[in-house]
């Protein structure tokens, strides 16, 4: 089979919807213009951008003026966090040890700028410790950052409870959310959760790569971190692809037309996958939260006695793309920091597999993937001294 025939690594990127490409094509050719005033080409682009902003804003309960297009979720995170830092100058920041690398690397940068940073622990399901959050709040706490859906195990963080804790602090604490794995996978109303800044990305919801957005609550002040001429947005100066923005808006339009139905479909597929895995393979364990506590597209399991890297390569030979325990941790073979933080050991981390589903996946594809995974697992366990020793003890 050709590479990626069965694609189950949608945490990283998802296939672009055909309708998205159709929506983009005019802006690659006859409508290539940037926004402008007093001339028809520029005004036409202004009108188009206003419509695109409205679509994205509606998906999260925002206003169009609060939507700022960026070249991706990572840049949206950087603009928000560094922009808040430039505005606040100093103070205390809270993040968790299981957050996405964007947040953790920015937290390290904040420490170098003179901010104090506290790192919350997480439980065995990767939920952050809310009691520790309460205990860490100080009069000089200015920012709390979280990843709405954990990028490794799919656990949904309790955003409403977090908001209530922050609101009860007695002073303003900015609330930044990385929603890369949550957007389009769960209802996300920025007003319900009291979110001040939030990053989203198009290519995680069947949109194009290279475009995302930052939600910035009206009245929230950011320092300028990117300088230059304004073409599309004042926060990310310079040119942004209007075609990619058009594709982003179309992906949002498609994904949010029936969000409940989309979530139900993804959850049915992922639950089916987990059931089949448990039926076909012994000695596996679900990592992260169960049921409604996890995002509908994410199944992360540890397969005892074998290495996930070997499984990944062998599945790839069958055209099946999945992620393993070192994904998002490094390009090497280091154990994933999230799995280690929630109590897994190095063997469990390296033996972990992450399957993330998209709306185009089918049960037939999942059956084939599980069948091949079962065959590979059986073959690798034959060669595993750990497994053979375990089986001898068992008998």
pLDDT in tens, 279-319: 999 999 999 999 999 999 999 999 988 877 888 999 999 99
Check whether residue 290 and residue 183 sit in a common domain: no
Check whether residue 385 and residue 250 sit in a common domain: no
Helices and strands (H and E) in the chain: how many = 13, 13
Check whether residue 235 and residue 262 sit in a common domain: no
Last residue of a domain, one of 256, 288, 319: 256
Check whether residue 165 and residue 277 sit in a common domain: no
Whether 303 and 283 have beta carbons less than 8 Å apart is answered as yes
Check whether residue 223 and residue 308 sit in a common domain: no
Residue among 328, 334, 367, 374 flagged as catalytic: 328
Listed as ranges, residues in the chain with pLDDT below 50 are 327-330
At 38 the pLDDT is 84
Check whether residue 215 and residue 331 sit in a common domain: no
Answer positive or negative: Cα dihedral of 268, 250, 322, 348: negative
pTM of this prediction exceeds 0.75: yes
Q: Give the chain's radius of gyration (CA, Å).
A: 22
At 348 the pLDDT is 82
Check whether residue 22 and residue 126 sit in a common domain: yes
Q: In the Cβ-directed half-sphere of 91, how many Cα atoms lie within 13 Å?
A: 21
Check whether residue 274 and residue 190 sit in a common domain: no
Q: Is 78 helix (H, G, I), strand (E, B) or coil?
A: helix
Q: Is 11 in the active site? A: no
Residue 1 lies in a domain: no
In the chain, the number of structural domains is 2
Last residue of a domain, one of 256, 291, 320: 256
Check whether residue 226 and residue 309 sit in a common domain: no
pLDDT digits (tens, 9 = 90+) for 51-108: 999 999 999 999 999 999 999 999 999 999 999 999 999 999 999 999 999 999 999 9
Phi/psi of residue 14, each to 5°? Answer: -120, 155
Cα–Cα distances in Å, from 256 out to 97, 180, 283? Answer: 31, 15, 38
Return the beta strands (E) in 37-128 as ranges.
Answer: 67-70, 92-96, 116-120
Check whether residue 275 and residue 190 sit in a common domain: no
Check whether residue 145 and residue 266 sit in a common domain: no
Q: In the Cβ-directed half-sphere of 104, how many Cα atoms lie within 13 Å?
A: 13
Check whether residue 181 and residue 320 sit in a common domain: no
The parent domain of residue 181 ranges over: 18-256
Last residue of a domain, one of 256, 282, 298: 256
């Amino acid at each position: 089979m050709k590479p990626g025939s069965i694609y189950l690594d949608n945490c990283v990127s998802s296939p672009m919807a055909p309708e998205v490409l159709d929506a983009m094509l005019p802006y690659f050719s006859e409508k290539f213009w940037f926004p402008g005033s007093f001339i028809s080409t520029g005004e036409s682009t202004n009108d188009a951008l206003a419509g695109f902003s409205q679509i994205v804003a509606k998906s999260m309960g925002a206003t169009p003026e609060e939507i700022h297009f960026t070249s991706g979720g990572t840049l949206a995170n950087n603009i928000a966090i560094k922009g808040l830092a430039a505005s606040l100058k100093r103070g205390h920041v809270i993040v968790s040890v299981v957050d996405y690398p964007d947040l953790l690397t920015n937290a390290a940068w904040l420490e170098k700028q003179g901010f104090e940073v506290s790192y919350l622990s997480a439980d065995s399901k990767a939920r952050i410790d809310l009691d520790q959050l309460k205990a860490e709040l100080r009069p000089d706490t200015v920012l709390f950052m979280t990843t709405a859906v954990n990028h490794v195990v799919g656990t949904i963080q309790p955003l409403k409870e977090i908001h209530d804790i922050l609101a009860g602090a007695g002073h303003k604490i900015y609330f930044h959310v990385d929603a890369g794995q949550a957007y389009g996978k769960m209802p996300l109303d920025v007003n319900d959760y009291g979110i001040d800044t939030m990053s989203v990305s198009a290519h995680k919801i069947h949109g194009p790569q290279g475009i995302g957005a930052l939600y910035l609550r009206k009245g929230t002040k950011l320092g300028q971190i990117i300088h230059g001429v304004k073409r599309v947005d004042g926060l990310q100066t310079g040119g942004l692809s209007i075609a990619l923005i058009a594709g982003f808006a179309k992906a949002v339009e498609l994904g949010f037309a029936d969000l409940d139905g989309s979530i139900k479909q993804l959850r049915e597929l992922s639950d089916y996958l987990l059931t089949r895995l448990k039926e076909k393979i012994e000695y596996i364990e679900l990592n992260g939260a169960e049921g409604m506590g996890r995002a509908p597209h994410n199944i992360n399991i540890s397969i005892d006695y074998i290495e996930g890297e070997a499984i990944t390569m062998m599945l790839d030979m069958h055209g099946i793309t999945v992620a393993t325990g070192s994904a998002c941790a490094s390009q090497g073979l280091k154990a994933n920091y999230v799995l280690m933080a929630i109590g897994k050991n190095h063997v469990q981390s390296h033996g972990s597999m992450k399957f993330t589903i998209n709306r185009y996946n089918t049960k037939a594809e999942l059956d084939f993937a599980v069948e091949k995974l079962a065959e590979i697992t059986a073959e690798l366990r034959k060669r595993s001294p750990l497994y053979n020793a375990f089986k001898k003890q068992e008998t």
